Chains A and B, each alone.
Chain A
Amino acid sequence: MENLEMVEKLRQVNASFPYTEPIKRWKEKGKKVVGWLCNYVPEEIIHAAGMLPVRLTADSKELEMPDGDAYLHIYSCSFTRSIFQLAKEGQFDFIDGFVATAMCDGSRRLADVLNEYKILPLIYTLGVPRKFGDRAEALYRGEILNCKKKIEDFFDIEISDEAIKESISVYNRTRQLLRRLYDLRKSSNPPISGAETLEVLNASVRMDREEFNQILEKLLQELEERRMSSEGKTRLMIDGSILNNIEFIKGIEDLGGLVVVDGVCNGARYWDGMVEDGFEPISALAHYYLNKFPCPRFYPPGVRTDRVLDLIKAYQVEGVIYEIIRYCNTHTWDYPILKSQLDENGIPILELDLEYGTGASGRIKTRVQAFLEMLQEKKEAK
């Protein structure tokens, strides 16, 4: 099974993380980069300001985090501490400012500390409602406006509605393309593995979006001809805390699993849906972000579990692997609810507690392999 040329290109981008080649080229043109921390920061606003939105994450190895552990308490998850460690080591110096949201305690504390110790300037913390509906949307719209104003004041620039509309179309393009990529994985022989898909997702938020869209279009053409047999493999869904670690998925797929869909916030939850045009741009953004595949912190929780069940049917998933970064409360509390729903629908689920950046260690391989053997037995018994 030969490597995909476009995935190779994106792997190069990821290899030079955090100061990737595209970001270097962007900075050399004297342009600005704005970091963002959570799915509910509307990237279009940053893009419309003529700046490069880059998602603050760490990457595929478990970092030694002396600074992370010293400035952030161990009860802040290792995701936030890894980001702090990289920022403290100066690996995010190319970032001119960042936007956070009040989505979870961990990201709030990270924003507090990065700003207080003058490591990365915090532009604004977006207050995101936890319910759906018009009133929540109106409040969230106000917050997006505040965020826009804060970015304008911070960089002393103007962001016009036309620029936002333009950015919306660029980002909608990505959503279309990623939807087509995911649709291909519904087939009984998906042409792209879970590890390769994550390579694409990781790169999407580490380079300028127009260039990424072009690469994604070429990749979709490549995938037309690519034949990959998934005979004897078990179709899996990965859900849980944010996952950037390619090694983790590779470890699962080497054991005979095939990751066909996910429910993580940098995966299906990131590109789901489209921003409707023909509306005032800020309201359109508020409506889109509040109603896409939701994060577990939203009420009622049933909205999210139904979406997960739909995905399981659409992608003929045989088993769900739910990975939780230790102290990640959002997903620690989502798991018992999702588990009870999946039990009722007879879908096996495996819970893995791990640290962010963990590869497929011995402990994880044992569990995943046993889980796959269990699913194999379930299939044979049918």
Chain B
Amino acid sequence: MISAGIDIGSRTAKAIIISDGQVVSSAICDQILKSREIASIVMEKALRDTTLSLKDIHYVVTTGYGRFVVPFAHEVISEVSCHARGIHWYFPTVRTILDIGGQDSKAINCNERGRITNFMLNDKCAGGTGRFLEIIGEILGVSLEEMGGLHFKATEKISFSTICVIFAKSEVLNMLKEGIKKSDIVAGLHDSIATVAHSLLKRISLIKDLAMTGGVAKNPGVVAKIREKTGLELLLPPDPQMIGALGAALFAQDKLQLKGR
């Protein structure tokens, strides 16, 4: 029984194929407005490492921002459920999940079966999101990966007066002109993202164990700040960006097992 999960986020599209409970292959590709074809592009990329073709997949679940436009999807499930299901597969003791993606951040509670019991989304402002990191990174001329390292070289505490991305841009420009160190700015940025994330977590119940998913989880600076603010250890999956697709694939597998019985 072969199932597949596709997560079409706002910045990247991801696909995972599972055969009999084992992840057979996964793929990720950057997508800027390739829209409809992106689902098949990322699916082909995943199929390439296997001997399978699209018709061999028995059940496909799609999730993410563009989940409704995938022609070959059998079922559509929200990214909130898929993130919970995916991380639960890695860490069955997880009950609280923080996902910071490209355009929004989510705080999710789940039960022992990895199904969601409460959630809170912050997508009114892009302040606490990956896009914020990306834009400021461009101004500082620092890649997302380098940001994590820079964070630990910081000395002074810098705080941003606004979480609006556009106005933070001009604030960063002024900071550079005043000669403030890039590492301090980056640390200040991570702090403001962690503050937004923490206030989101407070709006659901902060039950142990806490895990983090989404691209920003790869940034050790943000992770350190969130650990500091919540006082909880963070469980980090090896590939935090793929959790949504993994969850979708697991849901697809559940459906097959249900049908099988």
Determine direct contact between A and B, CB below 8 Å. yes
Known contacts A353-B124, A367-B121; is-contact A373 B79 (Cβ 8 Å): no
Query: In the complex the two chains form, is B78's CB within 8 Å of A377's CB?
Result: no
Residue of B78, B115, B121, B124 ringed by the most chain A CB atoms within 10 A: B78
Q: Which residues of A contact B143 (CB under 8 A)?
A: none
Q: B116 near A381 (CB under 8 angstroms)?
A: no
Say yes or no: is A369 at the interface (Cβ < 8 Å to chain B): yes
Looking at chain A, what size class is its interface with the partner chain?
10 to 19
Name A374's contact: one of B76, B104, B119, B124 (CB within 8 Å).
B119
B81 touching A370 by the CB < 8 A rule? yes
Assess the A369–B78 pair: CB atoms within 8 A: yes
Contact of B80 among A363, A366, A378, A381 (CB under 8 A): A366
Q: Is A362 engaged at the interface, CB distance under 8 Å to the other chain? A: yes
Q: A377 touching B111 by the CB < 8 A rule?
A: yes
Q: Enumerate B111-134 residues with CB–CB distance to A below 8 Å.
A: 111, 113, 115-119, 121, 123-124
A366 touches B121 (CB 8 A): yes
Residues of B within 8 A of A381 (CB): 111, 115
Supposing A366-B80, A381-B111 touch, asked if A374 and B65 sit within 8 A by C-beta, the answer is no
In chain A, positions 334-380 with a C-beta closer than 8 Å to chain B are: 353, 362-363, 365-367, 369-370, 373-374, 377-378
Q: Is the CB of B116 within 8 A of A374?
A: yes
Asked whether A370 and B119 contact (CB < 8 A) given A362-B65, A377-B111, A381-B111, the answer is yes
Interface size, B (range):
10 to 19
Given contacts A377-B115, A377-B117, contact A363 B123 (CB under 8 A): yes
- B77 interface hit (Cβ, 8 Å): yes
Query: Of all chain B residues, which has the CB nearest A362?
Result: B65
Q: Which residues 35-64 of A sit at the B interface, judged by CB distance below 8 A?
A: none
Q: A363-B123, A367-B121, A381-B111 are in contact. Are A373 and B81 (CB under 8 A)?
A: yes
Min CB–CB distance A359 → chain B (angstroms): 13
Q: Do the beta carbons of B124 and A373 come within 8 Å of each other?
A: no
Interface contact B111-A369, CB-CB below 8 Å: no
Instruction: Tell whether, in the assembled complex, residue A366 and residue B111 are in contact, meaning their CB atoms are under 8 Å apart.
Output: no
| Chain A minimum-CB-distance residue to B118 | A374
B93-118 contacts to A, CB under 8 A, are 104, 111, 113, 115-118
Q: Name the residue on A nearest B76 (C-beta).
A: A369
B115:A366 contact, CB within 8 angstroms: no
Whether A374 contacts B117 by the Cβ 8 Å rule is yes
Contact with A along B146-158 (1 / 0, CB 8 A): 0000000000000
Contact A366 B78 (CB under 8 A): yes
CB within 8 Å for A370 and B116 given contacts A377-B111, A381-B111 = yes
Q: Do B77 and A373 have beta carbons less than 8 Å apart?
A: yes
- Complex-state Cα separation, A365 to B121, whole angstroms: 12
Point out the residues of chain A lying under 8 angstroms from B80, CB to CB.
366, 369-370, 373
Residues on A with C-beta less than 8 A from B113 are 377
Is B78 touching A373 in the complex (CB atoms < 8 A)?
Answer: yes
For residue B79, give the distance in angstroms from its CB to the closest CB of chain A: 7
- Is A373's CB under 8 angstroms from B116's CB? yes
Q: Out of B77, B104, B115, name the residue touching A369 (CB < 8 Å).
A: B77
Q: What are 19 A-to-B residue pairs whose CB atoms are below 8 Å?
A: A353-B124, A363-B104, A363-B121, A366-B65, A366-B79, A366-B121, A367-B121, A369-B76, A369-B80, A370-B80, A373-B77, A373-B115, A374-B117, A377-B111, A377-B115, A377-B116, A377-B117, A378-B117, A381-B111
Residues of A within 8 A of B (CB): 353, 362-363, 365-367, 369-370, 373-374, 377-378, 381
| Interface pairs A-B: 7 shortest CB-CB | A370-B80, A369-B78, A377-B115, A370-B78, A373-B81, A374-B116, A363-B123
12 extra A-B contacts, CB within 8 A, seeds A377-B115, A381-B115: A362-B65, A363-B104, A363-B123, A366-B78, A369-B76, A369-B80, A370-B78, A373-B81, A374-B116, A377-B113, A377-B116, A381-B111
